[in-house]
Chains A and B, each alone.
Chain A
Amino acid sequence: MSATTVSGRHASGKPVVSDRAKAETRLGQRLVAPAIILMLLVTAFPMLRAIYLSTFDYALTAPEDREFLGLSNYLTALTDPLFWQTTGVTVLYMVVTVAVELVIGFIFAMVMHRVIFARGLIRTSILIPYGIITVVSGFAWQFAFSFQNGFVNGWLPFIGDDFNWFGETTPAVIAIMVSEIWKTTPFMSLLLLAGLAQVSEDMLEAAKVDGATWWQRLTKVILPNMRAAIMVAVLFRALDAYRIFDNIFVMTAGAQKTESISFLTYRQTIEQFQLGMGSALSVLLFLSVLLVAYLIVKLFRVDLAQARQEA
């Protein structure tokens, strides 16, 4: 009874919500509540705990000597040259791999989109690297770059047969990036393929009729219409790349200054059992990932809701 009276009135300027709609909202909230509680338990709790632990000098090997430090772990980390050096390397990994993957991934996406024959086979073979476990890919590329039994030295001109890729920072970083790019480009191309499929054929036809060249169609029609998809692809990959760990762990174990911020965190927490400092680094890693995400969203000026096609 009350439902009819309320929904009938439009006195206030605000959109009027019917009791039915309210009840539905309440039901919806109740239905998602268990999931939210579960999420809080499994994600919020560890995060809060990490923040709590980061205020202590706390080593697992000497739990009784735990000492409250306040924010001094953060101060130590932020004033340490090693932290900034690893952050620099991590940013380098992220920028280079994402840029290369974007270009190659886009070419692959075009191939997958336009291919007429053996479509399934071509699409599958492009996706195979993504199905391989990163650790396995790391080992495979480590063998490939090894001067003892690898093929890379033999294939590349101007490089001696006994050139040790893992002996210095630059070649080691390149080797790690190659493995990373090889492994995750298919993911990028998959996301871009989804974006390509959204570009309307009518617009392309119209552009063609208007005499647009291939390059013009790409830059004036396809790319602008794919901005949301590109942003999602770049965002996902950049956040992933910022947390790079497996390839470094397998290929150099952090030697020759190749370690990323995740690796540094791993070493404090898992290898040295310094839970306090490790947690502080985890929090810093989390904050920097947030910052990267914010920058990318701002840079591409894309509404996330629009990217998800909610608008």
Chain B
Amino acid sequence: MVRGTSGRSKRFVAVGATAVIAAGLLSACGADGPVLNWYVNPDGVDTFKKYAEQCSTDEYDIEVQDLPNGATDQRTQLARRLAAEDSSTDLMNLDPVFVAEFANAGWLQEIEGDIADEVNTSIEGSGDYLAGAAETVTWEDKVYAIPLWANTQVLWYRKSLAEAAGLDMSGPVTWDQVIDAAADNEGTVGVQANKYEAYVVWINAMIMGAGGDIVSDTEAGKDASVDIDSDAGRTAAEIIEKLAGSDAAQPDLTVSNEGTSLGQMYPTDGAGQFMVNWTFVYKNYEGGIGQPGGPPDEAAFEDLGWARYPQSVEGEESKPPIGGIDIGIGAYTEHPDWAAEAAECITSQEAQVELALTDGLMPSTNSAYDEVAASGDYPEDLLELYRTSVDEGGPRPKSAFYAMISSAVQASWHPPTSVDPDSTPEESAQYLKDVLEGKALL
């Protein structure tokens, strides 16, 4: 009798507890609807948050999740989630170089419909996307992401420094000219040469500018052809060697990144610099007038010039680097249709224009570029420079093993002070082959 009661009361408690938990779960779903997680890199997060809210509907909410700073760390975190078939990774900001790897691993939902068609026609040169940006989202003839913003590097410089050096900046300039001009006039040359992804960006741009490739036939995966041991590779090595041994080298050359060289444009003493860097630089200096590290006044900001990425070989068109962010849809999402709808919404023209105007992250479509130009927020020649740079740029190798290729190049070419045109390209080619074949540690 007593036992019976106590058993019943326990059951009551259990039922009650279940009901409470269930009610909690239900209310969580009922009130807010399912959540789509959007993993973003930390550039322009406020704008991303705004669009996450705008693109949320009655059916679902988009929530922004932060990724680490570096491209390599971003890849690591996303890849670990996707390798574990994480169903809560719905949308993600992808650095273009990782699209191939992710698509090859089956971690990205294929993009179909109008956007895919537009991307394909853009690659042929007649669509709305800039060709360089459209190229980044395809893998084995399928589309796996949507370009959001397209980044490129240009040569930023102090007009006064170029003038003092007597360098004509209206036409193309070469790396040799830039290094000499800076060295002879108390200026410096800003690059990204720490042991990280952007160092490969620099090396790749110089090799492509000299008509070569780090690797080609990349769809062969590990059997890709390694081309870094070539005249183009040696040209790139010569430029690095020249800069490293020149007075124009910045003291932190071996650990320089996109941020460290910014401060050398308006140093307390010295003539400033020539710097290759991404598009965010313009808004950065414009917003930093009168602040430490920024231009001291309007006149100093007016002294900021820009030109196309330097040529590796005189007379041969440079191949500016291409970066940016593509939006991918996780292969294991529980809501693929909603995620596709949301991806379209957050890459809309409106969003692209806003990213350009508030964050300095340039659009991936021609129509968004036109709107940015119409706003008058950027000098027209700068916008034109960006657009042609993305269109005619030189992307990094599109390979499912890109992370390996990049790390192997970094290992052989870093520090820049050790680069020797006679041995570095040859050694790095051998090492890259060994790494791809699994014969050497990375």
Q: Which residues of A contact B (CB under 8 A)?
A: 57, 60-63, 76-77, 80, 82-83, 147-148, 162, 164, 166-168, 253-256, 264, 267-268, 270-274, 277, 281
Contacts and interface: CB of A to CB of B under 8 A. Distances in A.
Interface of B: 72, 76, 79-80, 83, 101, 104-105, 194-196, 251-255, 260, 263, 400, 403-404, 407, 414-415, 417, 438-442
Given A60-B83, A256-B415, A267 B255 contact: no
CB-based closest 10 A-B pairs = A255-B195, A162-B251, A167-B254, A61-B105, A60-B83, A80-B441, A82-B441, A166-B255, A164-B252, A164-B251
Contact of A264 (B72, B76, B415, B441): B441
A272 B105 contact: no
Given A256-B254, A273-B79, A62 B441 contact: no
A98 B253 CA distance: 33
Given A268-B442, A271-B403, A61 B252 contact: no
Given A164-B255, A167-B254, A57 B415 contact: no
Contacts of A162: 251
B79 A76 contact: no
Contacts of B252: 147-148, 164, 167
Nearest to A280: B441
A254 B195 contact: yes
A283 to B, nearest CB: 14
A232 to B, nearest CB: 34
B175 to A, nearest CB: 22
19 contacts: A60-B83, A61-B101, A62-B105, A148-B260, A164-B251, A166-B254, A167-B253, A255-B195, A255-B414, A255-B415, A256-B195, A267-B442, A270-B76, A271-B72, A271-B76, A271-B403, A273-B79, A277-B441, A281-B441
Contact of A255 (B104, B255, B441): B255
Contacts of B403: 271-272
A118 B110 CA distance: 68
Contacts, number: 78
Given A76-B438, A83-B441, A253-B196, A272 B407 contact: yes
Nearest to B400: A61
Among A61, A80, A255, the one with the most B-chain Cβ atoms within 10 Å of its Cβ is A61
A76 B442 CA distance: 11
A274 B76 CA distance: 12
A60 B82 CA distance: 10
Nearest to A73: B438
A57 B254 contact: no
A268 B196 CA distance: 16
A271 B101 CA distance: 13
Contacts of B80: 270
Nearest to B105: A61
A8 B439 CA distance: 69
A60 B79 contact: yes
A284 to B, nearest CB: 11
B240 to A, nearest CB: 15
B80 to A, nearest CB: 8
A82 B101 CA distance: 26
A267 B400 contact: no
